[in-house]
Amino acid sequence: MSPATSHEAFVEANGLRHHLTVWDGGGRTTVLFLHGWLDLGRTWTALVEALPPGTDWHCAALDWRGHGQTDRVPAGGYYHFADYVRDLDQVARQIRRDRLVVVAHSMGAMVASLWLGARPEAATGLVMVEGLGPPATSPAEYVRRMASWLDQTAPYDPARFDRPMQNLDHAVARLHRAEPRIPADRARRLAEWATVTGPDGRLRWRYDPLHRTHAPVPIPLEAGLEFWQRITCPVLWVGGTLSPWTGPELDKRIAMLPRGIRHRIPGAGHAVHNDAPEAMATLLAAFIQSLPADPASR
């Protein structure tokens, strides 16, 4: 697949217009790509371009609410995980074909795990890219986060979180700070997609700055892992050997996936799909090839 074969699409979910980038190979397997926090669907482009020749999947990369070209919540609204789950449920119903495979990074993997824990029949397979699950949070931390959220949002002043950039080079430099291993040409292309010019002539990321506030009520760790254990489809968990999120605690979490297999890609960090798209594409193709052709045969 190549950029020339992609097109833009919009679907409505929960009163918001959601944007998707679609690469349609004409097949009956829909692969729904879900990005992480402050990212956008176009982040998956290098991976899709690296898929084996002849791949016929119907690929769609979603922009979450308040990210990319998807609508932001109206004044007074917020971005809770339950909202993302509900959006995913509606978007998937509208775009899927015979089989649905979900490929999700970081925050997107968290949302996908909540959805497939609650709706285990909804997908044929799940790929969790650096899916970490919720953090361990003490009761005192819940109180602190609620206080912080109120300080940031009652009232909410978006100017507090405004981080304009002078030009595209400035945006690329910021992107490289977050993803230091992404090649320069790929970083520049992604920065072009991920920014918009404001009335003052300066660039800003396409996400709603409200996302930069502290979410008030994290999902409890025990509840998050219960969702993981209720996922019945095969799960491929993919991480990078250079990711800062490694260790025995994460290994124990991954072991809770009933049908999970784990793979770490050498030389990749947290953004595996941008650090090593070719290796990630090879893993993804092999995983989907291993899934049942008929969803009813699971």
Instruction: Output the pLDDT for position 292.
Output: 87
Instruction: Output the pLDDT for position 294.
Output: 61
- DSSP H helices in 130-217: 139-153, 168-178, 184-194
Length of the chain: 298
Overall CATH class of domain 3-138+219-297: alpha beta
Instruction: Output the pLDDT for position 293.
Output: 82
> Which residues in the chain land under pLDDT 70?
1-4, 294-298
Structure tokens at 25: 């190979």
What is the per-residue burial (b if ≥16 Cβ within 10 Å, else e) of 164-186?
ebeeeeebbebbeeebebbeeeb
Q: With contact defined as beta carbons under 8 Å apart, do 50 and 1 qualify?
A: no
Instruction: Output the pLDDT for position 2.
Output: 53
Cα separation, 288 vs 57, in Å, equals 10
pTM reported for the whole predicted model: 0.96
Among 182, 184, 175, 192, residue whose Cα is nearest residue 273: 182
CA distances from 231 to 119, 132, 246 (A): 8, 15, 22
Phi, psi of 93 (to 5 degrees): -60, -35
Structure tokens at 100: 């649905």
Instruction: Output the pLDDT for position 160.
Output: 95
Instruction: Output the pLDDT for position 298.
Output: 44
